Structure formats: structure tokens, C-alpha cells
Structure 1
Amino acid sequence: MRKLVFLFVLFATFGVVVRAADVTFKASAPEAVVMGETFRLSYTVNAEGKDLRVPEIPDFDVLIGPSTSTSMSTQIVNGKMTTETSLTFTYILQPKKEGTFNIAPATIKVKGANYTSNALAIKVLPPDKADEAAKEGSTGTGISKDDAFLTIDVSKRNVYEQEGILVTFKLYVRKDIAGIDQPKFPEFEGFLAQEVELPQNKQLVMENYKGKNYGTAVIRQTVLYPQRSGKIIIPSGKLDLVLRVPGPPKQRSSVFDDFFGGSSSYIDVKKELTTPSVTIDVKPLPSGKPASFSGAVGNFTMTSSINSNNVKTNEAVTVKVKISGNGNIKLVKNPEVVFPNDFEVYDPKVDVDIKTTAAGSSGTKTIEYMAIPRYAGDFEIPAIAFSYFDTKTNSYKTITSEPYKLHVEQGAGGGTSPVISNFSNKESVKYLGKDIRYLKVNDIHFVPNNELFFGSFMYYMCYLIPAILFIVFFFIYRKQVKENSNLALVRTKKANKMATRRLKNAGKLLKENKKEEFYDEVLRALWGYLSDKLSIPQASLTKDNVEAELTKYGVDEPLIHEFMDILNTCEFARYAPAQASDAMDKLYEQTVDAIGKMENTIKK
């Protein structure tokens, strides 16, 4: 009685809050069981429930049940006590036959309201077949090669370049596991690897394999996208297990040893499990690629939108393109959006949301293109085209948006003064003056003839030198204006400068040992340099047309191969396991050297 009074005072002091929030009613049972063995079927509700109604279970014998157990947990947070009650009803079942059987939902009443549990599907496996060679290949500790092994399963072994395949490493074991070491998986060279997130607490699931029942668990699942054609080998993986097996019987020291199991002993045995290597035959993509194809492989959709069709000068125009689907979406290049010549175009903003499952990598890539019109008038943004290779039909498909009509009105502060734009720096805009100021002349002042500056040598030189300088600067200015009007030439001249700036950023990331950011920055520097140098938009750049264009400019084949090797190394290294710092240093030096050689080769 005193304890009850104490608890009542304690609850009143702290303020008891009984969790009467959402009521959950859940059914649980093993996913697979073996014919002839028993298992538990449990129904759990997080409140005081009554009147449990379980559906008929004709495919199983109910040996025991329902047995009821109650648990309570209490937490005190900020002076408030929270109590949660859990009520569990347990049945012991035994299957009547093999197959997969469904158990319908059960119902229970909580405070006058009915709640329904989830349904269950249980697979009943056949018992182990008698194996006359069960001991064949076993060690002295009684472990055979069939007691534990690791498999590698590849969804497809004959694929196209950039087509995703699922690789699964699965453990099969018939003994108790005492310990497991960190698995050693292959590095997947030649692939872009996307890991499938698996549950943290893996539970062994029963599965019948070649007539025997095993506890199984998926150790790793990875979606691979081959980056080149040809035969690519996936090396073997390795896993070290510690299995617990019965040891030699102990010497009896008491008559109670048999009763308490003291006469038996167990020993731990280490076993190394390996998988065979697998060869993937990668076919190159078929010919007939559309002009807007940039390497997307899978199944995709594209939508586009514009923020407004009526704007004023110096107001931003934003075109948003959204690409969704399943495939190598992380490698999909931005579609090209062509703005009118009088628009100042900025680098697009890209947002990627990708999730990788056993079905592949799926998600959305959103690209926002921004430009600013400087003149009033009516303009048109041409239709946006996006092409991809459909792995279901093995054909190329092109999605095209509608063109956008744009009306630009003169904004505040506008005028008719000409505008000089520095296309290498979009933020620098200068307006020329509108008039020439009048030069006022003072009253005439006479001086003696011998003191006159007029007619002297210095007098004529003061006219001649400015005239010569004026002519020289006039021609230089005309040449600069002509070159600045040629956007392609401006970009070509600025190519090395922009690449050097990005490589400086890559050098900082290298010192900070930020691997993925380092390789991304080197890739941006290379693709940006090639785009500026060859006067080709980045969205239209591919490895094939880069090689062709560099050959046209007379670049040596070894230098072309050096550029291609750097691009491939960066693409592989971003998703491969951590690289050594000396490899990153070597790649950085190789990139700087390659751009220097290219500058000496292509001179404009």
C-alpha cells in the first residue's frame, strides 16, 4: 500500500503523460520457415487492448496460444514522465505443407475503437534432403564447403555502355555465426558504382538452396554503370567468418552435467569465403545518335518551364528544365538552352535528387538557366531537346519542349546609349558618354616674339606625337572591338585563364584532401577549357566529338589520349574507393602539363 502511495505522489510531482497518441497494432512472424519446425506468430499493440480476433489459419497448426505478455517503459524528460505500454499476444504455429501462405490481418479493440494489423506472407521451405556426401570436403572441425559460402549474382552480363546492372553479394550459412570480419569487395574498375542502402540490422532469412535450408543475408548490393565498351571483369570478393561448431565432448565431472548440458562444448572456427570473378560483355551504343544525345541511358522524362513571358530589360529570365527517370541520371549532361544573342547568360544552377535501390538509380535532375535581356523587343527561346537511349526498346528517343516567346519591355533607367559587354565577365557593363563638352577659350595674351612657343620644334612635336599615338590607339581599339564582338574568339583567348583559375581551386581541395570535390573541379576545368577552346557549348561536348575537333586543329594523338585519360580517371575516381594522395598529386600535375601543351599547340 505504501508503494502505491509513493508512486502516486511521484507521478503527481513530475506530471505523468501517458502516450495515448497513435495506436499501432502490428503482426510479426519469420519470412520463411522449414517444414516440420515451429515458429512464433506475434501481435503487438502499444496500448491496453482487448477482444483480439485472429483470422482462420488453415495452413498452420496452432500448438500454443495465445499467450499474453505486457511490458512498460517510462521516460522523464524536462520534468514530465512519459509511459508507454506494450501488449503482445503470441501463438506457436507449425506448417502443414510446403508453399507460400498468407495470414489475413487481425483486429483488436482499444478504448472502444477497432484497429487492424498488417497481413503476413510466410514461405514454408522443404526439409533438408539427405546428403550422402555431407561430410565431403569438410575440415577436421566438421565444417564442409556447403555449410557456409558467399555468392555473387549479376542481373545482366550482356549490356550496353552506361546501362545499369545490379550486383548482389549474398551469404549462405548453416552454422551459428560467432563473428564476421569486414568484407573485402572489388573496386569495380571501369564502372560507375552506386551503392544500394541496406538495413543496418540484417537478420538471417531462411532460404532453400539446392535442397538445403540456409540462413541468408544480402551483404552488399551495388548498381554498376559500365563506362566503356568491351569485356570488363568484376574481381572476386572475400569475407571471413567465425563459425561456432560442436567440439569434442567434455569429461563428465558430475551426474548433473548431462542435465545442464555440461558434457558438450563448442569451438570457433574461422572460414574464408570467396566469390568467383565475373565477366561483363559491354556493347557500344548503336549508331545513329541524335544531335541532342549526350550519354543518357535508361528511361527518362523531361519537362520545362519559364518564370515569365513578359519581362523588362535587366530583369532575369529563368528557364527550368527537370529530367526524371531511372538510369545513369547522375551522369546526364545539361540540355542546351539557346538564348538570344542580346541576352547575358549565366552558368546554370543544378540540383540532383537521386535514390539507388535494387531497381537502379532513379530520381530527378533540375537545371535552372538564367539570362538577362539588355534590349527591349520580341525574342524567342528555341525548343529544348533531350535525347536518351531507351534500354527497354534498345533505341534512341528524343523529348522536345515547346519554344518560348518572350516580350521584353524597356525597364527603368534604360536609354539608347550603346552598351559594351565583357563576355568573359558578365557582371561588367559600361555605358559610353552621350556628349562632348564645349572647350572655352580665354582672352588673347601677346608675348614677345623671342619668347613664342608657337612655331618652335617642341610646338610641332606636341602636335605630332599625340597624332601618332591617336592613330596607333585607334587601330588597336578597332581591333579590340572587333575581337570582343566575336564571342567565340573571346572565349578561346580566355580558355587558359579560366582553366587556371579552376585548377587553383582544385589545388586547394587537394591540400584539404577533399577527394570527390577535387575530381569534380578538375573535370569542370577540363570540360570548360575544351568548350572555350573549341567554341562548342558544354552540353554538346562528348568524348567522341572532342577527339574529332582536336584532330582538326592538328593536335598530336598522344596529347589527345592524355586528355581522354585524365577525363576517364576523374570520372572513375569520383565514385571509386579513396585514392592515395600521391595519385591525386600526379593527376593534378598531369592536368596542368596537358593544358600547357594544348596552349602551345592551338594558338589563336
Structure 2
Amino acid sequence: MKKSYASRSSVDCVARERRPNMTGRLRVALVLQACVLACFLACLLAVPATAQVQVSVSLESDQAFVGQSVRLSITVTGADREIVPPTLPDLPGVEAFGAGQSQRFSYVNGQSRAEYSWSWSLVPRREGRVLIPSVTVTVDGKDYQTKARTLTVTRSTATPSTPPAAGDDKGDKDDKSVGQDVPDAFVTMRVDKDSVVVGEQVILTFGFYRYSRRSMFESPEYTAPRTEGFWREDLPPESHRREVIRSRRFEITEIRYALFPTRSGELEISEATVRLPDNAIGSFFRRDSRRRGPALLRTDAITVHVRPLPVPRPSDFSGTVAEALTLRSSIDRRQLDQGDALTWRIQLTGTGHIDAAEIPVPDPGPEFTIHESTSGSQSGPDGGSLRGSRTVEYLVIPQQPGDLQLPALEYSWYDSSRQQYARARTQAIAIRVAPSEGAAQSLFTGGRKSEIELLARDILHIEPIQADQQAWGGPLVYRKGFWALACATPLAWAMSALVSRRRRALLADPRRRRAIKARAKARARLDASGPVDERVSAALDGYLADRFDRAASGLVRDEIVQILTAESVPAELVARTRELLDHCDALRFAPSTGAAESLLADARELIDRLEAVLDA
């Protein structure tokens, strides 16, 4: 037993002596492995992480309609490098507009990545195939070539000038195959008739169609068409409605204008445009790639054939072209005394540019004296057209008593609905004038003579005036205030005569009366309520119309410049007037609070300067 115990103890001792050597070797091996791994990682970190340069080109769509915009983008990806911006070559039959550039940086898994992008809006002007050649991009001095792309341009029923046919579906389907040929946004423009006579009303309608699921954060920029050769009136308000077109629901905004050609010939209404800016929120979430349709929308131009008015014309033709025109004549009372005045009201109403019509001054005959009192006009939309009225009031004073009569009136005009000249007539108006009061009765009336009554029998002595009775100061001619009062009386009479004469002169000269009140009326329009651009435009147009005795609605920008130039207004002031009026038009579609407040101050200053120059 002792021997067995001794041998087992010796084995344990040997094991204990060898175990420390094995542990030391294992530790050395682990340390060596850790050093090798650390060196390997250090080498990896020491090598700069770069990405390979890639240059690509993308086209929003390989197919487009004439006048629609397609986005072309060139993208360079890789590490942050020195890049020369690419230049797009000229493309025959295509207009190219720069749409901006963007850049993005990222660092993922130790690798840096940069992305640069340049975009253009391509607007084809004719049908056919457009070859977009390769574009050279220089990165760190090395040239890279993009791939060539082809754009097919067609003219379809879904062109910007013709809305697609409305579908019968009541819902908005999610199937991407539905309505693939209808863009997310497009515009239309049409006229109710393309052959008219000079002065005949033409209704121009512009429509903006936007897919209802398109982001509402977009703020489109609208540019109205140019209508040279036409007098244009807005027909507010804008109409908003929804319509399903080929199983897709669209939000539709329509803007209407009333156009009146001022000359004969082929007059062109230029294209209207709507620019859809990039959606910043959609770009952040990378959703722009799903948007269909162009970013710049254009309509086709429209040509209107304008014929001259037929001949021969009536000798008293007024020049008014309208529809359903009526003439009314009325007075405020039918019985009055000789020397009193009544108000004679003449009103012209119809569909067309009636507020610019001129009503001739009537001749009531030698039995009356007539003076123009007031005149005015108003117009507005009515049943999709512009309808207006022109009213003139006269002060009529009968010069003799008896049963008198204001004559019947006639107005010659051209009826555009019947394509012939017509006459509007009124009935004569009977008036009864009573004679004025006779001469004043005599101060002495006749009657029985009365006897002189004896009151007393006595001698009345003449007594001298006492001192207290002389305190009144003597005769009136020696008083201090007598001559002042005597001189003030004729001065007051002269001033009253001048005021009365001026009033009669103003009644007889309505042009001068309008010019005198022009600035006050303009300031009242500026202080009125409503949109600032409409107030400023109405104030300036009304001021110039009153100063030069014109109809405010008949003043066009070029005519305003000609009138001011003829009146020797400085060129700087003429340009400032034109600039302010154009600024009002711009504010209609891009309102700005700060710009509106400064516009009011500029308008007041401009009116004061014009008043000073015109009165000089």
C-alpha cells in the first residue's frame, strides 16, 4: 500500500512541474496572434477608403409630347473629387433650361461617397426623334463620357392644349397601368370663338390640371399669355373643380379672360406656362422619381381671325360692339317750378366692353339748359361673359313754364350676335313746369284815408343832448369798425361770386372737374379694402383716366406711356409708372406681404410726383 501511494505522488509532482511551461507557450502564441491582427487592421485603416468614379445619365421619360418638359440628369458618384460641371450641347428642335444642381455626401462602413447631379428641363418644339449625344464630364482631370439617349416626341390627344377625355370611373385606382398616357399635370388653353369682328368679345379660358395625389406642397408659377392687339379684362373668380380623366382624379383650376380685339387681322394669343418647382419634401424622402409629367408646362399659341366692321356704317355709329344692349332714359321728377333743376339719367347696359362706350351729350332744345353732373361705369362677369353699364347724369333747368318734353334718344351700335348694325331707342319724357312767383307786391297798399288824430296841445322845447347821451360815440362813420365792416361786405360778395362762378364752370366742364378730383379719388382707392395689387392698379388707372378724361378700362399700358410722354412727363417717371403697373400684375400670381406694403407707399409717391409735374 505504501509503495502504491509513493508512485502516485511522484506522478503528480511531475505534472505540476510541466504545467507552467505549457501555459507560458500558450500565452506567447495568443500575444503573437493579437499583434498580427492589430497590424493587419492598422494597415487597413492606413489605406484611404475611396470609391470608384461612376458617371451616368438619366432621362425622366423616353417619350414626350410637343411642348411638354422632360428632365435630363447627369450624375457623378464616387469620393469627393474635383469635377468640371458638364455642358449640354445644342439639341435641334428642343429648348433646354437649367434646372439646378445638387450634391450629397455619405460615409458608410469606412467608405466615403459623394454624389453630384446636374439637371436640365428639355422642351421639344416639334415631332420626331431627338438624339441626345454623349456628354463629357471631367473628374480629377480625366474625361468620362455618358451614354447617348433618344427622346421620341409625339403629338397626342393628351397634349397641353387639349384635355384628355373624362372617364366614367368615380374612384381613383392604384393600378399603375391605368392612365399611363396622362401626365400628372398638364395645362390647356381655348377660346370660345376664333373668328370675330373688331371689338367683339372673345372668352379665353386657361386650365391647370393636377393629379389629386400629387404633392400639395408644390407652388406652381403661372405666366399668363400675351394678348397683343387685344384689350383684356379678367373674369374673376378662379374656378376650382374635380374631374376623373381616364380613371384618375384631377384637381382643375381655370382662369378666364375677356378679350376685345382692337384691330383687324390675324392676332396671336401667345402660350401660357406653368412651372412646377422641385418638391423639397419629396426629394428628402426620395419620392421625386415617382412623379410623372413635365416640370415646365406650356400651352399652344392660339390665332384669332379678326374681321373689320362691315361697311357702310351708320353716320351716327358710336363704335360700340356688344350683345343685348339696352338704352334707358329717366328723370327724378316730372313736375317742378320754372328755374328749378331736375336730374336726367341716361344708362347704357349690355354684354361687352360697355364701360368704355361714349354716350353723346343729348340736345333737349332751347327750352332747357343742360349741364353734365356725374358719370360712371361698372362691369363684371355674368354668365361666363363680361357685362357692363355706362351711366351719365345731367342737370336740366327748364327756362319757360308749361308742358315741356325731353326728347327721345337713339344710340347706334353693332350687334355681334346678329352680325348687323342696330339702334337702341328711348321714349320722350313729358314734364310739367309751373311758373315762378310774380313780382313782389307794393310796400304801400291802398285803402281808406284815416284822419290825423290830435294827441296833445303843448309847446315841446328842443333840449340839448346831455353828456351821458353822447357816450355812444357820435355818428357811425366815425366808428372804428364801420369802414372795416363796409369793406368786408363787398369782399365777401366778390368771393361768393368767384366761388359761384367756379362752381358753374366746373359743372359746364366735366373734364376739368375730373382732373381736379383725380388725386383725391386715387388716394381713396388706395385706402380702400381689398387686395393691394388691385387697389394700386385701380388707383393708378383711375388717376390717369381722370387726369386725361379717358375711360379707365380703355387705358392700355402702351397708351399710358404715349399719353405721359405727350404731356412732357420725364422719362424716368414714365418708366416708373409702367414698372409699378407691371408689378401689380406680377403680385396677382405671386403675392408677398412685404412687397404689397411697399407697393402702397410707392403708389402714393408716384401719384404725388405725377400731380406736381402735370400741374406745373
- Compute the TM-score of the two structures, normalised by the length of structure 2: 0.45
Q: Give the structure-1-normalised TM-score.
A: 0.46
Would you tell me which structure has more helix in proportion to its own residues?
A: 2
Larger radius of gyration: 2
